[in-house]
Chains A and B, each alone.
Chain A
């Protein structure tokens, strides 16, 4: 059974860097044609795509967040990670990791991790 689990601090101070890791179980992160994405949802608002990484290290980032986002993958641990720098209160959201089949659909999602930006 494929599962994704987000982990990381629940509170980050303004201007600091948000760091989250997604641990994948039940399937290899190196499976061909599958990308590993981050999506966030501010409280009471819509989904926002953040970015995507392939096991080879190729990345795609949201144009609006590109200057602050870095994604990485660790195939030995079957994990991928997100770093978002210079955070503000507007970055407070539930952060989801998800598996995406090429450009077509997200078939598995993590349960989500609430990150609050507050001093």
Chain B
């Protein structure tokens, strides 16, 4: 059972937009920055969004992040088949003094 809660799967057609939610508590999302990671099949996770809503160099602006209270959301616009991957949210839990991840969300681009 992951500390952060994500939907197991989401799907949408190419060109559409999808959002992935990540729910936590005051000890983690509520008081710490959220990051998002994309894991393509058979590869290591890759940083997609950091500090709630910032994109590393090289990440297209189709990817966006937001945070409100104890929840965060990843948005992916203009979906491409190459976006099919597992997406994870992550943050620090101040009560546990530990890093925590969501259970991951599998994105299918139909």
Contacts and interface: CB of A to CB of B under 8 A. Distances in A.
Contacts of B43: 111
B68 interface: no
A85 B56 CA distance: 36
Contacts of B51: 104-105
Interface in B38-76: 43-47, 50-51, 56
B24 interface: no
Interface residues of B, number: 26
B101 A46 contact: yes
A63 B96 contact: yes
Interface string B72-110: 000000000000000010111000111111111000000
B23 interface: no
B3 to A, nearest CB: 10
Interface stretch (A7-15, A25-33, A47-55, A72-80): A47-55
Contacts, number: 65
Contact of A105 (B50, B97, B98, B100): B50
A37 B44 contact: no
A62 interface: yes
A94 to B, nearest CB: 8
A50 to B, nearest CB: 9
A46 B104 contact: yes
A103 B47 contact: no
A62 B2 CA distance: 13
Contacts of A111: 43-44
Interface in A74-119: 96, 100-101, 103-107, 109-112
A47 B35 CA distance: 14
Interface of A: 37, 39, 46-49, 52, 60-63, 96, 100-101, 103-107, 109-112
8 contacts: A46-B102, A47-B101, A49-B98, A49-B101, A63-B96, A96-B45, A103-B99, A105-B47
